[in-house]
């Protein structure tokens, strides 16, 4: 008895709709992508009940003839590809030829279109059945309305979320499409109220302003990079502007918005040690590459693609983001300025002339020029100094004792700060970090320490106002960069032999994992030798390991290797440097002398990134002179 039969078109289209049409946002995606492929410069999306009642998409693209307008709703009908070779050079967004047939099978569709050469066409379809095709007076372009979604598949309809949830999905989609095509003017409305309206000027930063507002856009910095296969550019927020979700990162490949966890992770890795734990940036990453290196035909909704040389691409994204953020000044201001009002669209072009704020070095040069030009008298100079220095009084001697110097000590080179910590009622010195401050460029202006708050935050001043510095985060950053550089190459002459070797015991399966990663452990200064069937011995370790904690540190490093499926040497070095820097940095409620504060600030000023600790927390906060005077009503 024969039991296999061919499904009719209506049934097969409804099954296909289960893959293509997940929710109203899915329909908006397919219709808008068709409009983009049609060369539109203006696309309007109007929704009723978040699209469950009605979705209308109107464009000014090239439109269709009557023959094409009817044929477009047939399954596997497409104008984008004609042979298998085209699959490897796809440059359009829609090409599978099943979207319109699937949409029409679970809704009611009304289409008006014209190619500008012949009379317009009207097509009416109900549940996949063609009800009407006729001439219609219509301008060049297409106007398609999809109504009563899932009216003939109630099981699908009952799984729709709330109106607010479905509307949120569509808004998110249109935002990403607008970022992908800044040259197109998008307008999204819900119940006749405008939700998003972009200008179509081609300026992606202007689109970011339309989506997120001026306050967020002004905290975004551009980045770019390229190699033989990829060209990358985009924008990313500074670490002070973050979100609790990774969903604010947008990847665009050859004009197509796609989802990619590795690309998002590349952006996060590029901001490593800049981002607070659990916080993520807003970013848009635009990638241009040869279509031959991409496979966009791996998912029915075309939201995921495969790419050749993905590792090279993600490394390029990571380095481009990191370089851009490192070039930016990211000392956060303590007092937030008044929120920027959203500017009219014709005025937002100010971002095309965006320039970073003048650096302290620029201000120093400008001040020197002004002094020479004006040639102030000694009295005028003294009055100017008194007006700018808000903290002239010295700290209380009862709290801050002067550092006593031994005879001849003043003639000795300045030593890096050695902070005493109390451990078991004894003072234990933190290992010194020998850095040469004379050869490194300072990353922020000289600061004069004036005291501490609660033995935790250093207060320092300069002509721009005053700064509060988290002393633990500051030394943690200094030590992190020191250990990171040391771990990049563990020299043999820096090793310290032990009088009594350390012994570590592990199970058989752990021994196998350790054996596989002996080289990685050697890279971070863990030199293991077999000592019996289930033990290792350590006879030496780098001399710059934190004193008194080598055994615990080595055990933690081995545990990191055991807990990871795949050991990445670079990541292991980073985690090791962070761990070691945190171990013995100054803690809260620890009072420092003025000399200790000066040395700490000097070391911090030449750090590669003095603005955040390795965990992404801010190191210093700026209170400008103007903001202080405003708080005390000296200026209005």
> pLDDT, tens digit, for every residue of 482-528?
888 888 777 776 788 888 888 888 888 888 888 888 888 888 888 89
Percent of the chain whose predicted confidence (pLDDT) is above 90: 34
DSSP code of residue 370: H
Confidence at residue 94, expressed as pLDDT on a 0 to 100 scale: 65
**213-233 confidence digits (pLDDT tens):** 998 999 999 999 999 999 999
Q: Is the pLDDT of residue 409 over 80?
A: no
Name the band, by pLDDT with cuts 50, 70 and 90, for residue 1: low
pLDDT over 50 (residue 472):
yes
Phi, psi for residue 624 in degrees, rounded to 5: -75, 155
d(CA 103, CA 14): 8
Mean pLDDT, the chain, as a whole number?
79
For 245, other C-beta atoms within 10 Å of its C-beta total: 10
Q: Could you tell me the two tokens for 396?
A: 């209380």
The predicted model scores a pTM of 0.67
Query: Which residue spans within 332-438 are E strands per DSSP?
Result: 420-423, 426-429
- Fold match, 9-196 / 219-326: no
CA distance 195 to 174: 10
d(CA 507, CA 306): 40
Strand (E) positions, 137-282?
141-147, 185-190, 193-197, 220-226, 230-237, 242-243, 249-253, 256-258, 280-281
Q: Which of 66, 55, 14 has its CA nearest to residue 32?
A: 55
* Res 280: pLDDT: 92
Please state, in angstroms and rounded to a whole number, the distance separating the CA atoms of residues 598 and 330: 21
Q: What is the pLDDT of residues 580-613, one digit of tens each?
A: 888 778 888 888 999 999 999 999 999 988 888 8
Pick the closest to residue 56 from 45, 67, 64 (CA basis): 45
Q: Which CATH number fits domain 391-636: 3.30.1370.100, 3.40.50.720, 3.40.390.10, 3.10.20.600?
A: 3.30.1370.100
Q: How many CB atoms lie within 10 A of CB 217?
A: 23
| Token pair for 315 | 């490394």
pLDDT at site 272 = 87
For the cut 70, the answer to whether the pLDDT of residue 367 exceeds it is no
Query: For position 14, what pLDDT does the model report?
Result: 59
Q: Rounded to an integer, what distance in angstroms lies between the CA atom of residue 160 and that of residue 24?
A: 9
pLDDT at 199 over 80: yes
At 412 the pLDDT is 41
Annotated domain spans of the chain: 9-196, 219-326, 391-636
141-147 and 108-114: which strand pairing? antiparallel
Instruction: Give the H or E element holding residue 306.
Output: strand 306-307
Report in angstroms the alpha-carbon separations of 294 from 92, 288, 304, 531: 13, 11, 11, 51
Tell me how far apart the alpha carbons of residues 611 and 629 are, in angstroms, rounded to a whole number: 25
- Please say whether the structural domain 9-196 has been given the CATH code 3.30.565.10: yes
pLDDT given at position 161: 82
d(CA 457, CA 472): 9
Domain 219-326 in CATH 3.30.230.10? The answer is yes
| Rounded percentage of the chain residues whose pLDDT exceeds 70 | 76
**Rounded average pLDDT over 283-308:** 83
The strand order across the sheet containing 535-542 reads 495-505, 535-542, 529-530
Summarize pLDDT for 553-584 with one digit per residue, the tens: 888 888 888 877 666 777 778 888 888 888 77
């Amino acid at each position: 008895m024969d039991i296999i039969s061919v499904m009719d078109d209506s049934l097969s289209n409804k099954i296909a709709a289960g893959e293509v049409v997940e929710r109203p946002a899915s329909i908006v995606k397919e219709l808008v992508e068709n409009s983009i492929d049609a060369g539109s410069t203006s696309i309007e999306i109007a929704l009723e009940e978040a699209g469950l009642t009605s979705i209308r998409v109107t464009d000014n693209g090239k439109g269709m003839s009557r023959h094409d307008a009817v044929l477009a709703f047939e399954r596997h009908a497409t104008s984008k590809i004609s042979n298998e070779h085209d699959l490897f050079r796809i440059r359009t967004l829609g090409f599978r030829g099943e979207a319109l047939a699937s949409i029409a099978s679970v809704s009611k569709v009304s289409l008006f279109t014209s190619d500008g050469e012949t009379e317009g066409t009207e097509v009416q379809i109900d549940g996949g059945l063609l009800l009407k095709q006729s001439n219609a007076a219509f301008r060049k372009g297409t106007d398609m309305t999809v109504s009563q979604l899932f009216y003939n598949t109630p099981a699908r309809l009952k799984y729709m979320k709330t109106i607010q949830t479905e509307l949120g999905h569509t808004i998110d989609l249109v935002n990403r499409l607008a970022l992908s095509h800044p040259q197109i003017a998008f307008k999204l409305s819900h119940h006749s109220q405008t939700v998003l309206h972009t200008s179509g000027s081609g300026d992606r930063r202007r689109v970011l302003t339309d989506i997120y507002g001026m306050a967020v856009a002004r905290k975004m910095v551009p980045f770019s990079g390229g190699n033989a296969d990829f060209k990358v550019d985009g924008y990313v927020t500074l670490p002070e502007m973050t979100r609790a979700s990774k969903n604010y990162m947008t990847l665009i490949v050859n004009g197509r918005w796609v989802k990619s966890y590795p690309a998002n992770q590349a952006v996060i890795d590029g901001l490593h040690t800049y981002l607070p734990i659990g916080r993520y940036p807003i970013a848009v990453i635009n990638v241009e590459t040869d279509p031959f290196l991409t496979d966009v035909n791996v998912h029915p909704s075309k939201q995921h693609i495969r790419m050749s040389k993905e590792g090279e691409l993600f490394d390029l994204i990571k380095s481009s983001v990191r370089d851009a953020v490192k070039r930016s000044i990211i000392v956060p201001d303590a007092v937030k300025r008044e929120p920027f009002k959203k500017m009219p669209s014709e005025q937002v072009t100010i971002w095309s002339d965006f320039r970073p704020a003048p650096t302290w070095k620029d201000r120093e040069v400008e001040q020197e020029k002004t002094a020479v030009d004006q040639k102030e008298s000694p009295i005028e100079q003294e009055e100017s100094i008194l007006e700018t220095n808000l903290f002239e009084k010295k700290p209380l001697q009862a709290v801050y004792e002067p550092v006593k110097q031994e005879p001849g000590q003043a003639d000795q080179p300045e030593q890096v700060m050695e902070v005493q910590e109390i451990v078991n009622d004894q003072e234990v010195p933190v290992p010194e970090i020998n850095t040469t401050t004379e050869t490194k460029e300072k990353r922020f202006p000289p600061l004069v320490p004036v005291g501490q708050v609660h033995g935790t935050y250093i207060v320092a001043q300069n002509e721009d106002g005053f700064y509060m510095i988290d002393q633990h985060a500051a030394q943690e950053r200094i030590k992190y960069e020191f250990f990171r550089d040391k771990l990049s190459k563990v020299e043999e002459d820096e090793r310290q032999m032990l009088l009594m070797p350390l012994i570590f015991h592990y199970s058989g399966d752990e021994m196998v994992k350790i054996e596989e990663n002996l080289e990685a452990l050697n890279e971070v200064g863990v030199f293991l030798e077999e000592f019996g069937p289930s033990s290792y011995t350590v006879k030496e370790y780098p001399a710059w390991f934190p004193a008194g904690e080598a055994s615990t540190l080595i055990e933690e490093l081995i545990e990191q290797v055991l807990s990871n499926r795949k050991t990445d040497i670079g990541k292991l070095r980073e985690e090791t440097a962070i761990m070691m820097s945190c171990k013995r940095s100054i803690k809260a409620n620890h009072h420092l002398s003025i000399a200790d504060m000066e040395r700490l600030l000097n070391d911090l000023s030449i750090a590669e990134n003095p603005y955040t600790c390795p965990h992404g927390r801010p190191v210093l906060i700026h209170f400008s002179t103007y903001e202080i005077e405003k708080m005390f009503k000296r200026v209005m």
